[in-house]
Chain A
């Protein structure tokens, strides 16, 4: 299991954007969604989530609005803005390129060089 502390810098933002891109969510929902889509491999420290959310709102990637949750509680819902969607695409591309590059690099065999 990887905790937030071990995440690469910038990954938390990417995870949040990804989680929210699947539908608007409140903070707790985002945590659950991240856990779910990473198959329980990535766990975010709860208190650290909110500063990141506030930052993304300030930067204009997320939009926040108050709504009512499934359990009838008032909760703040976050959804992607247009620029957030764009940012997510760019980050995904960048990340995928990095992953492919890393896979090549780590999978290199002695005879191939």
Chain B
């Protein structure tokens, strides 16, 4: 019954709103006139009677308003009306609206985009089945945080564990693959039969590898990774069943492609193909199977039922401890061997996590700045509207109604900002995901997260509520509002203070962003300024992988000799050499280092470890090609062949450390690393024939590098070609390729690139970091400048009369100018001061957790501070000039 009445009256209101409104008027009028009729009958004049009746009736408008509120559908109707009013208000102030909407759009858009990326990269589960039970094991010693595992170690661990259901293993191998289109070098994983079961992956087509593919008697089988299959092989389903030849450094085997694995995150390295053990002869060799120190395998595990990470970690430590105790000759206590187990998910995110959270913090700051700025504008405008609000309050608007009006306006504003924000968020996600893919493979191909829309809505709503409650409403004593002459605005102390606080907040936040961007920019500049220790612009590096298929080691060596001979005669070629690692690019090969000892030199103390040096295998002319002088002795030459006296060249750091004040040439050096046994490099002494400068080919900023070079003719590997060109190196690439294919049609010739470009490529993350943060910081700075200018403009326009009087009393315009400028500067200085305090607190906090994070020095702080102050000055200039130009007479007349 009640509901029915409500609905009926609601319908009446909504369909005939205007009439009900005039109904109230008519009813009230009838009331007053009937009352006046009665009074008239008592003998009053008509006019007097009506006057008294009106007085008796009381607050006409307020009563009307209260009646409206009692009507059904009032909430709905008034919300609609408030919105329309809000829209009209915003429409009437296009400048304010544009700035506010743009600012909000940036704040909301950036947050939504970054949230999409954070969610996509960090929070989204992996494709692997029960991914939260997937574990990654890592063995480390101080100085090498990823030792990987050897086969005997894996067997020991596998035997002892109950919390971990199964272990799967993968070792990275570079195969030269023949049979997949052009012969090519591919990065591959060699896995045991449990691997895919442990990883919890499914095939897209065909099948994956299983325990029947294990062991030395299985036939070769390989699975393609999804990305390789879709991009390089164009999702060709006929590839299944194909037989390919896989060449690694110990020989060539054939394998049948049995399937394609579903898209998943490749870890620890990006692979194109995953094959079973038999495809890599090395993996079946005795050295690999029995050598406890022959570590090259990554281990994954899956939590057993009922076990959790903590119990697995505890058990693993016990089992590992027992293993260490059983082989004291391998695990010397001084080496501090350690094992760690993490969730695969966390391990994969490890590198991206920091950078993404920092980015998230940056976008949070941007949002704070945006909100402060809009709050500023909004507040300033509300103060200007104070007479209007006071008038409405006097006419019967309750403070709730006024607040609702403001809220509606803020909602309209933030809603528009949200819309614009969503529009810019989609392209931002594209840019960001390309950026994040430098740190995490999971960012590849990320699109706008639909749930980010909700983030945007929530942010917009927070902003709107915040905005609506920022301005102070006219006090209940409405009469004060009337006292204000309508043309000038007197700013109340509270509003002014709030405006300042917002301006200071903005300055603080943009200062922090600037400092961060400055630090990154400094790193980048330092990298770009640094000269690499060798020629890079004219040296072309080409991958020329070793093809062992049916060739003896001597034939392989002869091939590279012939390549070197033929290419050096080409016009435009200055020098040609070969090696096995391209600077900055071949991370795994560059990382190879072994311990060694000096023949005849007493060990420096008995406990001391043997020194370690980078191991490089190069051809004759390598140093010449890279433009590096030989400081002492001679280069490798034709005498240094297989079977001849073993020789090495050492870098200056080795000479300085081990032969201080002596001549190292003709002294002898011997590898002592136990791993040597497994890779076919002898422990025989080698004569030092030369000293070369330190060539750091790993770090972008060259560091002292202890390196030992061997002639590839005598031992070890090859596969990378270096060509020094007289002119444009890239012009040589077709000729070089043709020459090599003339000699061996199957030979892959890949990834030709100058060392300059490789270096630039490696620097890309740093450059992107600087660009992204620089972008954030400049946006923030821009918004803050607008904010400071807004506050001052507002303050100046409120003090027109004051300036007028001061100028009339003889103040110099310069004085007034300086006065306003200093006002702006004070805001900036306070902001920077707060920023410094926050910064140092943050720096101290972060130092507690990790020493890894490099904190920027004083320079970025100083530069950022200067930049902010300069920006504040510029921002204050316009309002200051306006203040100084106030026409005294006019200012006084306007009161």
B-binding residues in A (CB < 8 A): 26-28, 45-48, 50-51, 54-55, 57-60, 69, 71, 73-76, 81, 83
Give the chain B neighbours of A54 by CB distance below 8 A.
Answer: 67, 70-71
Cβ B63 vs Cβ A60 within 8 A: no
Q: Is B51 an interface residue (CB 8 A)?
A: no
Measured in the bound complex, the distance between the Cα atoms of B58 and A28 in whole Å is 14
Q: Is there contact, CB below 8 Å, between A51 and B58?
A: no
**CB pair B31 A26 closer than 8 Å:** yes
CB-based contact B71/A59 at 8 Å = no
Contact of B5 among A28, A45, A47, A59 (CB under 8 A): A59
Q: Is B23 an interface residue (CB 8 A)?
A: yes
Known: A51-B63, A58-B70, A75-B34. 7 other contacts (CB 8 A): A26-B30, A27-B30, A47-B63, A51-B66, A51-B69, A59-B5, A75-B30
Q: What's the Cα separation between A50 and B28 when bound, in Å?
A: 9
Q: From residue B617, how far is it (CB to closest CB) to chain A in Å? A: 93
Is the Cβ of A73 less than 8 Å from the Cβ of B30? yes
Taking a contact as CB atoms under 8 Å apart, the answer to whether A60 and B30 are in contact is no
B70 touching A51 by the CB < 8 A rule?
A: yes
Contact with A along B63-80 (1 / 0, CB 8 A): 100110111100000000
24 pairs across A/B with beta carbons < 8 Å? A26-B31, A27-B27, A27-B30, A28-B35, A45-B58, A46-B35, A46-B58, A47-B57, A47-B59, A47-B62, A50-B24, A50-B67, A51-B69, A54-B67, A55-B70, A58-B70, A58-B72, A59-B2, A60-B4, A60-B5, A69-B30, A76-B23, A76-B26, A81-B5
B31 touches A46 (CB 8 A): yes
Q: How many residues of B contact A (CB 8 A)?
A: 30
Q: In residues 68-112 of chain B, which contact A (Cβ within 8 Å)?
A: 69-72
Enumerate chain A residues within 8 angstroms of B24, measured Cβ to Cβ: 50
Interface residue SS majority, chain B: helix
Q: Least Cβ distance of A2 to chain B in Å? A: 17
CA distance A87 to B780 in the complex (A): 63
Residues of B within 8 A of A55 (CB): 70
Q: Measured between alpha carbons, how far is A112 from B660 in the docked complex, in Å?
A: 119
Pair B9/A48 contact, Cβ less than 8 Å = no
User: Which residues of B approach A to under 8 Å, CB–CB?
Assistant: 1-2, 4-6, 9, 23-24, 26-28, 30-31, 33-35, 37, 56-60, 62-63, 66-67, 69-72
Please, which residues of chain A bring their CB within 8 A of the CB of B5?
57-60, 81
Report chain A residues within 8 Å CB of B6. Answer: 58, 60
**Contact A69 B34, beta carbon cutoff 8 Å:** yes
Alpha-carbon separation in the docked complex, A81 to B8 (Å): 15
Contact A47 B58 (CB under 8 A): yes
Least Cβ–Cβ distance between B425 and chain A, in angstroms: 45
Report Cα–Cα, A83/B2, bound state, in Å: 9
Question: Which residues from A are CB-within-8-Å of B4?
Answer: 60
Bound-state CA distance A46–B57 (Å) is 5
Chain B nearest CB: distance from A73 CB in Å?
A: 5
A48 to B60, CA, bound (A): 10
Q: For A51, what are the chain B residues with a Cβ–Cβ distance below 8 Å? A: 63, 66-67, 69-70
Give chain B residues whose Cβ lies under 8 Å from the Cβ of A48: 58, 63
Q: Return chain A residues, CB-CB under 8 Å to B30.
A: 26-28, 69, 73-76
- Minimum C-beta distance from A68 to chain B (A): 10
Which residue, A45, A50, A55, A73, has most C-beta atoms of chain B within 10 A? A50
**Please, which residue of chain A has its CB at the minimum distance from the CB of B5?**
A60
Q: How far is the CA of A45 from the CA of B63 in the complex (A)?
A: 11
In the complex, chain B residues whose CB is within 8 Å of the CB of A57 = 5, 9
- Nearest A residue to B62, CB-CB: A47
Give Cα A69–Cα B31 distance, bound, in whole angstroms. Answer: 11
**Across-interface contacts of A26 in B (CB, < 8 A):** 27, 30-31, 34
